[in-house]
Amino acid sequence: MPIKPPPPVTLYGDLERARQIARSWKPLDHLADADAEIVAKAIAEGIAEGRRHGLEIAKTHPDWSRDGRLKQRDAAAGHDA
């Protein structure tokens, strides 16, 4: 049985940003407040999921980070890191 990763954790800032995004979308203007909140929560979950994916990538590919690229550049130039 495969182990499922935990669901993304939505932070308060994610929900505030998601509400801002939802308000900026003109087609959503006609939604009731409760429906707009559902949309905002879905957007916030997407933000949290993106953060989780970013952290997974950083853990599995540390050489893709900015620091990893700088270390590679310095090593190629013959500088000590």
Q: 55 lies in which domain range? A: 12-77
CA dist 37 and 51 (Å) reads 21
Q: Which of 19, 17, 13, 8 is nearest to 45 (CA)?
A: 8
Residue 6 lies in a domain: no
Rg of the chain over all Cα atoms, to the nearest angstrom: 19
Residue 29 lies in a domain: yes
For the chain, what is the domain count? 1
Residue 70 lies in a domain: yes
pTM, full prediction? 0.61
Element (H or E) spanning 39, and its range? helix 33-60
Residue 4 lies in a domain: no
| Tokens 């990893």, residue located | 68
**pLDDT per residue as tens digits for the range 44-62:** 999 989 888 888 887 887 7
Residue 54 lies in a domain: yes
Residue 31 lies in a domain: yes
Q: Which amino acid, residue 73?
A: R
Residue 52 lies in a domain: yes
Tell me the pLDDT band of 7, cut-offs 50, 70 and 90: low
